[in-house]
Structure 1
Amino acid sequence: MIKNISISTFVNIIFSLAFLSIFITFAMFMTYDKQKHELSLQNRYELIAENFLTAFQNQPTSDTLLDLYKKFRVSPVQEREEKLEIIKKAQELTITQTYLGTYRVYKYNEDYYIYVQQFGYNIMLKDARNHRYSMAVIIIGFIISIITFLFLYEILKRKLKPLKILNKQIIEFSNGKKDIKIKCISNDEIGTIAKSFDEAIKTINNQSKSKDLFMRNMMHELKTPITKAMFIAETLDDDKTRENLQKAFKRMDDIIKELATVEKLTSQNTIIYKEVTRFFNIYTKTLEIMMINPENITAKIRDFTFEADSYMFSIALKNLIDNAIKFSPNKNAVINANKEKIEISSLGEPLKNELEYYTEAFSQEEKRSDGFGLGLYIVKTIVNMHGYKLLHKYENGKNYFIIDMTK
């Protein structure tokens, strides 16, 4: 599961857990510190009470009591009404009985009082020290920790920002945007990756331009001599020789057309021009491109309208029908079309490999003199550009190539 989480999400999760840990840690520390403060007060008042109870045992003088007041920084409450008000309204924190006597600790208006009682003695002492529990130091520490934490988080986010930009540019490049310029804005590992990727883009673009230039020049240079050769072959008197030459030159011309189609489909500027059209119009255009006798095709078409690039779709349909006729023992193909699917079937042996193998460029089941391994590659590319799927199945001795038009 962790492997599928992006780095940014992972960092956010880690920092969220760290923030929660800081909050819990400070909450626990505050609870512990408050308990420690209360325990310290309890020990102080126990010590004061025991000292006064011990002094009462020896019938202390006024000077003895005055020394104890100064030592423990307490003062006696003289007024009886004030004593009664404290006993009545104050919060009683503890009451302790010892063999020396009894003492109580009260909290009243944020002040602490120790009420010491022994047979013959009864005195209430006010703690002169300020023992109010303050969370100021803890809060300041918590704020400093959060500020430091957020500062580190922001630094890390900024450090990872170039990686997000690089990832976005890589996705754009994979989607066909070839003119991306990667800027190296740092000298760390991310900057090194960005620099390497930018160099890779330049290399790929240069190779693509070289390939395109080579393909165009090659097709241009071959087209003229083939046309001349076909014209010369027409003048030969020997029918068999003329027919063989024309067949060979026709095949060469078909190969050049296939290469031209591939070059166009793989070009970074490839755009399909969709228009609302009827399938029967595309089928008619396909027959014109194939230049074959329609008697080899059994058409079961339920006409429908859809959006398509008429020229491109006709090429895809032409290649499917051409393959069905070419590799069928009876040289016949059946086309069954409706708004959900276009199905081309023919008799033949089952494919030895999965469909994906044959939709790769220059893939063939076996070496043939009449194929260049580009037909199904062109079909799949055009079908995918229209948002459809190319499928295959084999039933009852027939191969079915299907353009699934359900989205």
Structure 2
Amino acid sequence: MNKNSIIFKISLFFLVAFLAMTFLFKMMYDYEFISVKENLKVHYHKIAKLVMLWHIGKNTKEELIINLKKKNIEIVDDEKLYSSILNTDKFETISCGMQNFDLYEKERYRYMITPKSTGSMILKDLDTKPIDVHYMWWLYGAFILVLFALFLSIAISIYPLKHLQTQIRRFGEGDMDIDLISKGKDEIAEVSNEFDKAVKKIKAMINSRVVFIRNITHELKTPIAKGRLSLEFLEESRTKEILDNVFLRLNLLTREIVQIENITACDCNIEKKSYHLADILDNAADLLFLEPQSIKNNLDNRVVEVDFDLMSIVFKNLIDNGIKYSIDSEVYLKLQDNELAFCSRGEKLQHPLEYYTQPFTKCDSNLSESFGLGLYIVNYILDKHDYSLSYRHKDGINYFIITF
């Protein structure tokens, strides 16, 4: 069990409460038992005092019998009973007048054996009441039941948090079809219901975004295609060159927006399988209309667990960036241990890598053939694979490194 979880802390609290209550009731039981026993000793001390008054001649035997009878005590003359009593465990000893009066319990009665100097009489308590403090344990049981019921009630109230956690994790992984509606009346149910409302709003917003982007890119493709086609009928001029550049940039922007929307719209569902790095490189080269042999590499038969299409986009964008921003338009792929570096000769990046993994940021602001989405897409896909992207510059070479 997680030691930082709420249910663990509550369980620990109730365990400590249970132990503390048990210890407290044990002390109360012992105290109650001793208290009742002390009261009995006071009662029998009075009886012993009556015997001692008779023994020293202050009272007659008849007065003794009368006084004992008032206290529901009778003198029993039975040798067999006397022997039987002495064979039982002594209950208590009462001291009076420097004499010891022994108390015994036998067959629902309590007996007092007087000292030999008084004739070793057997005094039978006709009103014997056992020392009964077991009601303390009944009270203890009632408290434990209440404590257990309270713990169970809290545990049941907290249990929906586990379901809420699972649903939130599914939502974080891109599953929008979750149901968080709760019929409870407590705060957890309120949080769950509010989160369910938020999920539905986010789902509606995402669907609206997808529809909007797809519609706008679709609508843009037609005029861009018509515009570029119309340019073919114009004579060569500075105006035609400017318009051709504008349509080219619009076409590139539309293509990259479609690409990033396709990747992020469904939160990039990853279907990992085993593929050779060389096969991924070949597919990336096809996407760039390059010959695979034109990209230098030391790839061996290394197999990785990836989504083939998405990892091909990663290779494509890193190779494309390397070609665009290198001084010799060459890229070299270097595999070492669990790292694959995309190497190209060029200037060091002006900002940390985190700056370029944001959308619409690029290395060279004067480069017109990019809108700064390449590294953003790369980082996004690698993050979904639980891989990482890092950067370093050494001896005039830029290294973009994928760590598998």
Instruction: Within 5 Å, give how 1:47-66 maps onto structure 2.
Output: 47-58=46-57, 60-66=59-65
CA pair 324-233 structure 1, distance change in 2 beyond 3 A? same
| Corresponding residue of 1:329 | 327
Q: 1:280 aligns with which of 278, 281, 296?
A: 278
Q: Deviations over 1:166-185 (max 9, x none)?
A: 33322222221112233241
In structure 2, list runs of 5 or more residues that go unmatched: none
- Which of these residues, 138, 141, 147, is aligned with residue 140 of structure 1? 138
Q: 1:168-207 maps to which residues of 2 (within 5 A)?
A: 168-207=166-205
Q: d(CA) in 2 for partners of 1:35 and 1:102? A: 20
Secondary structure of 1:331's aligned partner: coil
> Cα distance 1:295–1:59, how it changes in 2: closer, same or farther (>3 A)?
closer
Q: Deviations over 1:209-264 (max 9, x none)?
A: 11111110111111122223333344454387766655553443232222112111
Letter in 2 for 1:345: C
Paired position in structure 1 for 2:73: 74
Report the CA distance between 1:129 and its aligned residue. Answer: 2.9
Q: Say if 1:239 and 1:31 are closer, same or farther in 2 by CA, change over 3 A.
A: same
Give, in angstroms, the shift of residue 361 of structure 1: 3.0
Of 118-127 and 6-15, the range deviating more from structure 2:
118-127
Matched, 1:85 2:60: no
Cα 1:120–1:203 shift into 2, 3 Å: closer
Number of the residue aligned with 1:209:
207
Name 2:224's counterpart in structure 1. 226
The residue type paired with residue 357 of structure 2 is: T
Residue-by-residue CA offset, 1:34-53 (whole Å, 9 max, x unaligned): 22222222222222211221
Instruction: Report SS of the residue matched to 2:90.
Output: strand
Alpha-carbon contact 2:85-2:106 (below 8 Å) kept: yes
8 Å CA contact 2:335–2:341 kept in 1: the answer is yes
Distance across 2 between alignment mates of 1:299 and 1:364:
25
Which segments of 5 or more consecutive residues in structure 1 lack a partner in the other structure?
none
1:56 positional shift: 2.3
* In structure 2, distance between residues paired with 1:128 and 1:208: 90
CA distance, structure 2, for counterparts of residue 296 and residue 209 of structure 1: 42
Query: What do residues 348-400 of structure 1 show as CA deviations (whole Å, max 9, x unaligned)?
Result: 34445443443333344675553323211211222233343323333333322
Is 2:352 the counterpart of 1:360? Answer: no
* Cα pair distance change 1:63/1:99, threshold 3 Å: closer
Residue pair 1:301, 1:338 contacting (<8 A) in 2 also: no
1:25 is displaced (CA, Å) by 1.9
Per the alignment, residue 22 of structure 1 pairs with 21
Q: State the Cα distance separating 1:344 from its structure 2 match.
A: 0.3
Q: Which residue of 2 aligns with 1:375?
A: 374
CA displacement at 1:316 relative to structure 2: 0.8
Aligned to 1:7: 6
When residues 277 and 236 of structure 1 are mapped into structure 2, their CA distance, relative to the original with a 3 A threshold, is farther
1:198/1:317 CA distance change after superposition, 3 Å: same
Within 5 A, what are the aligned runs for 1:251-400? 251-268=249-266, 270-292=268-290, 297-337=295-335, 340-364=338-362, 367=365, 369-370=367-368, 371-400=370-399
Q: Is the 8 A contact 1:102 1:117 kept in 2?
A: yes
Alpha-carbon separation, structure 1, partners of 2:95 and 2:277: 104
CA distance in 1, matches of 2:340, 2:165: 38
Indicate how the Cα distance of structure 1 residues 356 and 55 shifts in structure 2: closer, same or farther if over 3 A, else same: farther
Q: Which moved more, 1:354-363 or 1:325-334?
A: 354-363
Secondary structure of 1:317's counterpart equals: helix
Q: Which residue of 2 aligns with 1:155?
A: 153
Deviation of 1:140 (Å):
1.9
Cα shift at 1:76: 1.9
Identify if the C-alpha distance between structure 1 residues 118 and 368 changes in structure 2 by more than 3 Å, giving closer, same or farther: farther
- AA partner of residue 76 (structure 2): V
**How far off its partner does 1:287 sit?**
1.6
**C-alpha root-mean-square deviation of aligned residues, in Å?**
3.1
Partner Cα separation in structure 2 for residue 142 and residue 150 of structure 1: 12
For normalisation by structure 2, the TM-score amounts to 0.86
Q: Letter of the aligned partner of 1:51 in structure 2?
A: L
The answer on whether the counterparts of 1:304 and 1:339 sit within 8 Å (CA) in structure 2 is no
Change (3 A) 1:53 1:357: farther
> What CA distance in whole angstroms lies between the structure 2 residues aligned with 1:72 and 1:246?
124
Q: TM-score, with normalisation over the residues of structure 1?
A: 0.86
What amino acid sits opposite 1:313 in the alignment? Answer: M
Task: Answer with 391-400 or 47-56: which moved more.
Answer: 391-400
Letter in 2 for 1:66: I
Aligned residues: 402
- Local SS of the residue matching 1:400: strand
- The answer as to whether partners of 1:169 and 1:180 remain within 8 angstroms in 2 is yes
Q: CA separation of 1:268/1:133 partners in 2, compared to 1, >3 Å: closer, same or farther?
A: farther
Deviations 1:83-126 (A, max 9, x none): 23323x13234445554644223344564322223746442212
